[in-house]
Structure 1
Amino acid sequence: MQDLFIQYLKTKVKDNTSFAEEIASVLDIGYDAAYRRINQKTSISLEEGVKLAKHYNISLNRLYEVGSQNTILTELSPRINNVEGLEEWLKQSLINLEPLTKIKKATLIYAAKDIPIFHSLTDTHLTRFKMFVWIKDVDLNLTTSKVNYENFIEALPKSLLNAAYLLGNVYKNINITEIWSENTMTGSFQQVLYYYEAGLLSKENALKICNDFEDVINHTEKQTILQSHIGSNNKAAYSLYKSELHPLNNTLMVVTPFKKIFFSPYTVLNYFKVEHQETCEHIYDFLQKQMSNSKLLANTGERDRSVFFKKLHIKLGLLRERIEIDEKMSFL
């Protein structure tokens, strides 16, 4: 295996460059140590192999055909433990997605168990509440404290909100295909009710978040009818499918004319990034089957589309009713 790796590296080196010297430079080792690795007298460690692969822009999956052994390599997203980690995650996501705005045929496919994150990256209470929920889930100090939503948003740094807005604006300029079910917003509704009943979210702000939910539903319905993003600079396409068969799990796939990339969540926002093309093709085929068993709401007719969004409004109405009920009862 090391011999295959070395032979492949040699094809990447310029003719006027000493192979051993370049390997020594990349690995920060002596010439003799590099020569021993080239001649397989010393094994290349995993860390050294990764350094060389990154330097020469080589896919280890492709080189070793790891997929044939039911094993693939994945990349982890930035770890989120606090507000600073969330800001870094948003910035890294922007770096990953912004190039797609320049590729005409690039598309994102999002199987939405919950409201896609891009719908909640605007200057609203919903955006701030989602950040509150995310951080409460990962920051141990915040989890064990009784910090409420109102205290939390007072301390939010402007740089975090700006990073969110930038990512939200990029979303408008990428072709998007989303798959929703009638339960896609239910989890977010439940979060509002949970924190309201726990005394960590005021009635006033809970109802403001409900208004933001209503805006998301209305905005999504308009985009579904138009089949394009509202406010897009490049008339990016938008398609919404209604799934009735398969459960959704917030997976995201990037499809370009050159390759496919798959993002699979494993915590609230953290994800595995998979670039192994055989695996991506398999997942892409599955998503295509999901869409074939779903309804494209732009084509189903006004009745089916209206019924779908009406059900979301009804669920939101039930949330408002729960919040507005005066649960304080006097027994005196």
Structure 2
Amino acid sequence: MTSQELLLRQIRKQLTQNQSINDEIASVLNVSYDAAHRRVSGKSKFSIDETVQLAKYFNISMDNLFFQTEKIIVEKTIEIKSLNDMLQYFKNSAIQIEQLTSLPNSVLYYSAKDIPLFYFMEGTILSKFKAFVWLKLLNPAISEIKFEDFVIDELFLEHSSKLKKAYESIGVKEVWNDTTINSSLQQILYFYESGLLNFKSAMALFKDLKRIVLLIKEKSSQQNSKFSLYYNELVLLNNNLLFESEKKLTMFVPYTLLGYFITDNIESCQNVHQWFNQQILNSKPLNLSGIKEQNLFFNKAIRKIEYYMEQLNNQVDILF
């Protein structure tokens, strides 16, 4: 069976008895009925663009068309080398995640190696710092710019606020461990010691990070059917995201700091979905735990932040 026949078979599976495949293809490709009929009958071939267009419209995995279970076709986020690239990245991400969260009964699973970026989308000093860090690490050409001189475009806040709104509109299951906050702490200390962040800003950032941890603690202690936080002591987390809805699963796999491969390959997404559920079973559900368990987890994170703040104060005391 040819690839075109496989595609047509997948399309037919999605049509009702009252729908004509010729009419549907003509509508999707914006061609005449006769042109669609020639493609359906095999007298002419779909172009590559037409194949992709049909696969997207009917939500058909290109992987399955070619029976290559060991390989999958992925989409990837844009490469970030400038502030404009970052703006486009967040704009595209907001559009994509808004589409996924609009699907019925959407749930987001997040393997939080780092604090999920959704928490940094509030327009605070930490929001600005994260954009500063991301751009610094992705574009060495701006390595000498200091945080206090860094100016962020208002469009960044506009796109990031859409991301945050989409995140808050769906069910969320986050898996954390004791190292989830480490990256943010180390970034603040690193840029302070590099002379690219002054003492006042560094202390303000630690305080804002503490505010976020306390916010998550409060969120976890509330009766909130949309938000669940799990503490896993067994596995190293990797910032994988998985969107689950009634219609499909979509997986985001990190390959650089902000770069993600995106796929809705059925077998791969189902495996990751099963993996997430297994890790959740091996985790402590902080939402359902008592005050003691919650305090043990969050107080440990707060003590880490306060330790870094003390280290900063000690460095200043030595200088003077």
Question: Given the alignment, which residue of 68, 73, 93 partners 1:66?
Answer: 68
TM-aligned CA deviation for residue 279 of structure 1? 1.0
Does the CA-based 8 Å contact 2:108-2:173 persist in structure 1?
yes
- Aligned equivalent of 2:89: 89
State the alpha-carbon separation in 1 of the partners of residues 62 and 42 from structure 2.
Answer: 18
- Aligned with 2:315: secondary structure? coil
Instruction: Report the CA distance between 1:64 and its aligned residue.
Output: 2.9
Provide the TM-score with structure 2 as the length reference: 0.85
Matching residue of 1:146: 144
**Identity across aligned pairs (percent)?**
30
Cα deviation, residue 112, structure 1: 0.1
Asked if the contact 1:227–1:239 (Cα under 8 Å) also holds between the matched residues in 2, the reply is no
Contact 1:109 1:177 in 2 (8 A): yes
Deviation at 1:99?
3.7
Contact 1:6 1:38 in 2 (8 A): no
Alignment of 1:93-112 (within 5 A): 93-103=93-103, 105-112=105-112
Structure 1: which 5+ residue stretches go unaligned? 229-235
Q: Displacement of 1:329 after TM fit?
A: 5.3
What letter is aligned with 2:250?
I
Report the AA paired with residue 150 of structure 1.
E
- The change in CA–CA distance for 1:6 and 1:96 in structure 2 (over 3 A counts) is closer
Note if contact 1:177-1:240 (Cα within 8 Å) is conserved in structure 2.
yes
Please tell me whether residue 212 in structure 1 is matched to residue 201 in structure 2: no
Amino acid at match of 2:5: L
Secondary structure, aligned partner of 2:196: coil
Q: Could you list the per-position Cα deviations for residues 222-263 of structure 1 after superposition, in whole angstroms to 9, with x for gaps in the alignment?
A: 1101143xxxxxxx6110000100110000010111111111
Question: Judging changes above 3 Å, is the alpha-carbon distance between structure 1 residues 9 and 300 closer, same or farther for their aligned structure 2 residues?
Answer: closer
Tell me the CA shift for residue 65 of structure 1. 3.3
Q: 1:7 to 1:253 in 2, by over 3 A?
A: closer
Distance (whole Å) between structure 1 residues aligned to residue 121 and residue 315 of structure 2: 32
**Offset at residue 66 of structure 1 (A):** 2.8
**One-letter code of the match for 2:284?**
K
Per-residue CA deviation, residues 58-82 of structure 1 (Å, 9 max, x unaligned), is 4312333332xx1111111122221
Report the counterpart of residue 260 of structure 2 in structure 1: 271
Counterpart in 2 of 1:120?
Answer: 120
Which amino acid letter does the alignment assign opposite residue 156 of structure 1?
A: I
The secondary structure found in structure 2 opposite 1:268 is coil
Measured after TM superposition, the shift of residue 151 of structure 1 is 1.0
**What are the within-5 Å matches in structure 2 for residues 5-16 of structure 1?**
5=6, 7-8=8-9, 11=12, 14=20
Q: Which of 311, 324, 329 pairs up with 2:313?
A: 324
1:44-65 CA distance string (max 9 Å, x none): 7766643554466543123333
Deviates more, 1:122-131 or 1:155-164: 155-164
Alpha-carbon distance between aligned partners in 2 of 1:305 and 1:16, rounded to the nearest angstrom: 59
SS in 1 for 2:105: coil
Contact 2:206 2:309 (C-alpha < 8 Å) held by counterparts: yes
Residue 80 in structure 1 maps to residue 80 in structure 2: yes
Query: Which of 151, 163, 170 is the aligned partner of 1:167?
Result: 163
Deviations 1:157-216 (A, max 9, x none): 111122112221222211111010011001110000000000000110111111111111
Change (3 A) 1:151 1:5: same
Q: Per the alignment, do residues 9 and 151 of structure 1 end up closer, same or farther by CA in structure 2, a change over 3 Å counting? A: same
Equivalent of residue 279 in structure 2, options 284, 290, 304: 290
Residue 231 (structure 1) aligns with:
none
The number of residue pairs the alignment matches comes to: 309
For residues 136 and 283 of structure 1, the distance between their equivalents in structure 2, rounded to whole angstroms, comes to: 31
Counterpart residue number, 2:238: 249
Report the 3-state secondary structure (helix = DSSP H, G, I; strand = E; otherwise coil) of the residue aligned with 1:315.
helix
Equivalent-residue separation in structure 2 for 1:10 and 1:241 (angstroms): 40
Quote the Cα distance in structure 2 between the aligned partners of 1:255 and 1:111: 14
8 Å contact from structure 2 (residues 7, 65) kept in 1: no
